[in-house]
Structure 1
Amino acid sequence: MKYIHKLTYLFVIAIVLCSCSDDDEKLTLTTQGGSVINTPNNGQTFVLNPLEEQTNIAITISWDHSDYGTPTGINYTIEMATSGTNFSDAVTLATISDTYFTMSIADFNSTLGSLGLIPFTESSVDIRIMSSVGDPSQLPQYSETVTILVTPFTTDLPKIAVPGNHQGWDPPTAPLLASSAFGETDYEGYVWLDGDYKFLAPNQSGMFEWGSTDWGDDGSFSGVLVEEDEVNCTAVSNYYFVKANTEELTYSAEAHSWGVIGNATPTGWDSDTDMVYDPDTKTLRVTLDLVAQQAPDNGLKFRVNDDWTINLGDTDADGTMEYSGDNIGVPESGNYTIVLDLSNPREYTYSLILN
């Protein structure tokens, strides 16, 4: 009986040792070859369209499995970088176990923006796949790099800053003017001015700092801008509609006094009630008793200098303003704080706050 027990014991030990031997063999991994990218193709061109449905797929990245000598779970990290940087500025798109990855137009465009690519300009970016087992630092393997040509877009309007006495000559906090579209140089916006000021372009990173291109008056104070030998533009303290064209090298600053008018206001359509500029919020405000009126036939509007030449309404009743837009309705009678916000150039808003 003891002899049988000993045989059984030795048999069990042999099985355990064999199992350990098999496990050791399975865990022996070596780098045998990185992935091969199948799509996109080297040199493929991608032009992103801001008018297309932004959830549509813009790019599919696919690749073959990496080889570690034996079957095992593999993690794949997709990296994208500006060409020529050797992935020093790489953006990680995802770390996954699949061998394909898709990006929508919106996500792809956002990624390209994070790399600092210039909108509406063709640039070159590199893509590679890093594979790893467990800890990303263990047995990493890289695919060959694929280079593609991309043209991103932006829906943001280009802007220039207006630093000056009115805000302590501090470019990062200066009010902004916006152009009508990307590539256009017809900047405009509303600014409280108080003495000297200049116009300043952003740097390559989109930041406003001294050292970037700036413009001032040519010394004649006749609305002519120059980049060199300029003097500061100047204005007496007031709220201005400011324009600057950095290609035609012209500028203007017209004082605008805003008021609210309409049959929802105490004076009806006969006269304005002037609004007051609040420097803390950079908005125009007035508190009034309003009567309930239904737009678009009735209500109120905002206009400049007691005249209808420049007026703002709300055609879609969405809180954003359009020049010569529809009347703004008042939902119920009561005392309101009326706020007109012109601080975001070309994207003007208002609010009616029931007190």
Structure 2
Amino acid sequence: MKNIYKYLSIGLMVLTLNSCEDENNFKILEPKEAAFEIVTPSTGTSIILSEATPNNPAVTFTWQPAVYTVPTAITYTVQFAKNGTDFATPVDITESPTTNATINVAELNLNALMLGVAPFTEGTIDVRIKATVGTTGAEPKYSNTINLSVTPFGCLNQYGVGAGLVDAGWNWNSPVVMFCNDNVLTATVNLTNDTFRFFTTEGDWGSGRNFPYYTGEGYVISSTLVNANDGDSNFRFIGTPGSHRLKINENNKTISAFQGTDATGSFWLVGAATPGGWSWAGNNETELGKINNGVYEVPVELKNNETFRVWLANDGGDSWGSPNKNFPSYIADGYTISADFVNANDGDSNFRYVGATATKLFKIDTVNKTITFN
């Protein structure tokens, strides 16, 4: 009988040990919680944004949940950052109590531009998800980082501040707003013979762009705007004080300042030598704006061995019948014309540009009767 009890005891011990071993094995083989990672989209996804559909979804992010030791409510935040900055200055885009969030076209476009992606050019932004809980002192958790290739449209407004901009002055109370459309910034301003500077961010003195910034980037600038050489190398306006139309064209890298609140009284260049070709459609014609009494000037790229003509008026449509002047008409009026231009002898005796293709200041001085390109 004692032996029977002995064997029963040994059997129970073996069963107990086997049970513990099975339980331990079960725990070892238990699958781990999924990592806190972005599931969609995949890194490198390319997104081309369209101005025609600002409210359409641009991208939907989904991610695995963050895991905490104690079940708790989690707030997720989608964060963007400039590519390659390791989220030194992350931008919070949207919050979600769930593991997904959708960003529309307008929002993605604005943030891509603010992170430095050039309009109509594919650029990269970094994305991650931040998880936070309400517990005091709890540290946020971050997902993996992915990057998106985004092609935005439009551009961001910029600003002008300085004593030369009469209605602005050197403060941020009423800066000049340079409204942006397809990377062309424009504003109608009152200019006086003093200094000013452009800024990319309202209220941020550190975002200023002075005269050498633009010349260093290859910009051609109207002759009435010069380097102030004032220690900060601001712009100085040296033209006739009054209302002017300022334009920064970031596509062709030019800055112009034309007199007046509209284009009434301007001259116009049309032809294959000019950016718009032989066309009045849209804004194809090149405005040759008035910069001083009797002086018309524009920074423009002219193409080698191509032709153009000067129109003295623009009726807003196809202005072929508006008053215009060809090469011989200026010669007959006693003008001295730069050797960069010759009579095209093309039936209409247009101007032919024979210099190297370049962006320079084209000027017609009706007082001194000269036409130059330098």
Shorter-chain TM range is 0.3 to 0.5
TM-score normalised by length of structure 1: 0.47
